[in-house]
C-alpha cells in the first residue's frame, strides 16, 4: 500500500466533529445542562434548536448555516418540496446557554418530541454536525452488545 494514495476523510463546511453521549434530566424550568468541556464550549457563541428526524437538533451557527444551504440546494434541485427551507427556519429557535451551561427547551418542542417536564430523562448524542436531544425512551440504534458484535466483525 502506498501511503500517498490515502486521503483523510473530507467533511463539509459546518461539520463540527461532535461526538459522545450523555444522559440528563429536564429541570423545573424546562432546561437541560450541557456538560462542561467541548460541547459547552462549542455552543458558547449561540446555537439554533430545530426539529430534526424525530428529535431536537442543536446546531452551531456554522453547522446551521450549512444545513440550510443543503436544504436550499435540495429544494432548488426538486429533491425537497417548495417551502421546506422556510418551514425549517420558522420552526428553528435561536438559543443561548446561560452561565451554568443550561439550555431551555421550549415547551412546544418538548411536547412535539415526547420530552417531559421536570425530572424527565433525556439523551444527548453527538452526531457530527449537531447534537441530537430526545426522550430517553425514544433512543434508537444498536445496543452495546450489538455494537460490540459489529465492531468485532469490522476488519480495520
pLDDT of residue 115: 95
What pLDDT digit, counting tens, does each position of 74-106 carry? 999 999 999 999 999 999 999 999 999 999 999
- Predicted confidence (pLDDT) at residue 110 exceeds the cutoff of 80: yes
Q: Order of strands across the sheet with 55-59?
A: 21-25, 121-126, 130-135, 55-59, 47-52, 93-95
Task: Work out the number of other CB atoms within 10 angstroms of the CB of residue 60.
Answer: 21
What pLDDT digit, counting tens, does each position of 39-49 carry? 999 999 999 99
3-state SS class at 70: helix
Mean per-residue pLDDT for 51-60? Answer: 94
Determine the Cα–Cα distance for residues 122 and 137; give it in Å rounded to an integer.
8
pLDDT of residue 17: 84
Task: Work out the number of other CB atoms within 10 angstroms of the CB of residue 69.
Answer: 14
Based on the number of CB atoms within 10 Å of its own CB, is 127 exposed (0-12), middle (13-18) or buried (19 or more)? middle
Q: What is the mean pLDDT of the chain?
A: 87
The CATH class for the domain spanning 19-152 reads alpha beta
Mean per-residue pLDDT for 113-142? Answer: 90
Domain ranges of the chain: 19-152
Mean per-residue pLDDT for 139-152? Answer: 77
pLDDT of residue 3: 43
Mean per-residue pLDDT for 133-139? Answer: 89
Mean per-residue pLDDT for 117-128? Answer: 94
Amino acid at each position: 500500500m502506498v501511503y500517498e494514495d490515502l486521503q483523510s476523510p473530507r467533511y463539509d463546511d459546518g461539520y463540527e466533529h461532535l461526538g459522545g453521549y450523555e444522559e440528563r434530566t429536564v429541570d423545573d424550568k424546562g432546561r437541560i445542562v450541557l456538560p462542561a468541556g467541548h460541547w459547552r464550549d462549542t455552543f458558547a457563541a449561540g446555537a439554533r434548536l430545530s426539529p430534526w428526524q424525530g428529535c431536537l437538533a442543536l446546531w452551531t451557527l456554522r453547522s446551521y448555516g450549512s444545513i440550510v444551504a443543503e436544504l436550499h440546494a435540495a429544494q432548488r434541485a426538486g429533491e425537497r418540496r417548495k417551502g421546506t427551507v422556510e418551514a425549517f427556519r420558522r420552526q428553528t429557535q435561536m438559543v443561548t446557554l446561560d452561565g451554568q451551561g443550561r439550555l431551555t427547551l421550549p415547551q412546544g418542542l418538548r411536547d412535539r418530541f415526547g420530552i417531559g417536564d421536570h425530572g424527565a430523562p433525556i439523551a444527548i448524542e453527538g452526531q457530527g454536525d449537531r447534537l441530537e436531544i430526545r426522550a430517553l425512551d425514544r433512543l434508537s440504534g444498536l445496543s452495546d452488545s450489538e455494537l460490540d458484535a459489529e465492531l468485532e466483525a469490522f476488519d480495520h
